[in-house]
């Protein structure tokens, strides 16, 4: 809208399988980290490691469990075990089921919809009593992580106030264009920041976060690096007998 400052969308790094990648995501300003808890995914997160990830970052970012056509009892058990703050439903779950997940677990709910036709953009609007809609690229037999974009012009058909999370083939090279086309609440990335499925590439994560930040009319400053990544000051920079203060990494 003309005259209104455009803020950069939030970032959800998905397909996280280890603590180091989760902490790196947070250091790059992640709003959420996604743990795929559907065992058939090539990016499936081991539940024991999921607990460690949650313990490490849940006070700094949303921890989202991704599920595909799993039972309400199974989802609720994972929310409790991993202390998930979000649940993403990436299967054929219906609106009543999504609403019940939200009621029973207390977690925010994302409903994902694979987009092939403009009608798919409208289909997810039946989920009006949840927190977010995520639109991803359709590929037969695959649940997300396609590495392919869809036609963002189809998003003009949206007519809902439920915040949009844009996914599907996003990379540092195209996320600025995607944001300009869709103006999403958040962007979601998995394969676009990976070295291999389930293993993040630090350089790609940094480039992606910078590209998102630069999409704003007035880009926000880059998050401070983790303490382990911060450059060491020269020995002469601090008077003898005094320690340089160590600042915690920003959330």
Q: Domain for residue 251, yes or no?
A: no
Residue 144's alpha-carbon distances to 40, 88, 170, 196, 199, in angstroms, are 12, 12, 12, 15, 16
pLDDT of residue 244: 40
Q: Domain for residue 230, yes or no?
A: no
Q: Domain for residue 245, yes or no?
A: no
Domain extent, residue 30, equals: 10-215
Q: Domain for residue 67, yes or no?
A: yes
Cα–Cα distance, 95 to 111 (Å, whole number): 9
Rounded to 5, what percent of the chain is helix, strand, coil? 35, 20, 50
Give residue-wise pLDDT tens across range 145-175.
566 788 999 999 899 999 999 999 999 999 9
Q: Domain for residue 223, yes or no?
A: no
Rg of the chain in Å (alpha carbons): 19
Helix (H, G, I), strand (E, B) or coil at 107: coil
Task: Kindly state the tokens that stand for 216.
Answer: 């704003």
Helix axes 19-27 and 202-213, enclosed angle (nearest 10): 30
pLDDT of residue 227: 52
Q: Domain for residue 238, yes or no?
A: no
Q: Domain for residue 224, yes or no?
A: no
Which residues are within 8 A (CB) of 188 and not within 5 positions of it... i.e. 6 or more apart?
12, 14, 34, 134, 136, 165, 166, 167, 170
Q: What's the chain's average pLDDT?
A: 87
Task: Kindly state the tokens that stand for 80.
Answer: 């409790």
- CATH code, domain with 126: 3.20.20.70
pLDDT tops 90 at residue 81 = yes
Q: What percent of the chain clears pLDDT 90, i.e. is strictly above it?
A: 75
pTM over 0.85: no
pLDDT of residue 146: 61
Q: Domain for residue 207, yes or no?
A: yes
Cα–Cα distance, 95 to 89 (Å, whole number): 11
pLDDT of residue 216: 86
pLDDT of residue 148: 77
What is the number of domains present in the chain? 1
pLDDT of residue 150: 87
Helix (H, G, I), strand (E, B) or coil at 194: strand
Mean pLDDT score, 40-56: 97
pLDDT of residue 249: 45
Residue length, the chain?
251
Mean pLDDT score, 48-52: 98
- pLDDT interval class at 235 (50, 70, 90): very low
């Amino acid at each position: 809208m003309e005259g209104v400052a455009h803020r950069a969308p939030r970032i959800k790094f998905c397909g996280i399988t280890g603590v180091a990648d989760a902490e790196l995501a947070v250091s790059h300003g992640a709003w959420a980290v996604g743990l795929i808890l559907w065992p058939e995914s090539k990016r499936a997160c081991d539940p024991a490691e999921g607990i460690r990830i949650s313990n490490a970052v849940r006070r700094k970012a949303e921890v989202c469990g991704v599920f595909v056509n799993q039972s309400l009892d199974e989802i609720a058990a994972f929310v409790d075990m991993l202390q998930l703050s979000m649940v993403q439903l990436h299967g054929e779950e219906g609106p009543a089921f999504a609403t019940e997940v939200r009621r029973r677990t207390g977690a925010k709910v994302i409903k994902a919809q694979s987009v092939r036709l403009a009608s798919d953009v409208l289909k997810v609007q039946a989920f009006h009593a949840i927190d977010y809609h995520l639109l991803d690229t359709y590929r037969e037999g695959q649940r997300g992580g396609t590495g392919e974009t869809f036609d963002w012009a189809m998003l003009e058909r949206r007519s809902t106030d439920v915040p949009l999370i844009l996914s599907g083939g996003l990379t540092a090279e195209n996320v600025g264009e995607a944001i300009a086309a869709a103006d999403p609440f958040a962007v979601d990335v998995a394969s676009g920041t990976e070295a291999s499925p389930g293993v993040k590439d630090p350089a790609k994560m940094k480039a992606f976060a910078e590209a998102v930040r630069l999409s704003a009319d007035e880009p926000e400053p880059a998050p401070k690096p983790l303490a382990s990544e911060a450059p060491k000051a020269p020995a002469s920079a601090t008077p003898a007998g005094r320690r340089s203060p160590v600042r915690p990494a920003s959330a």
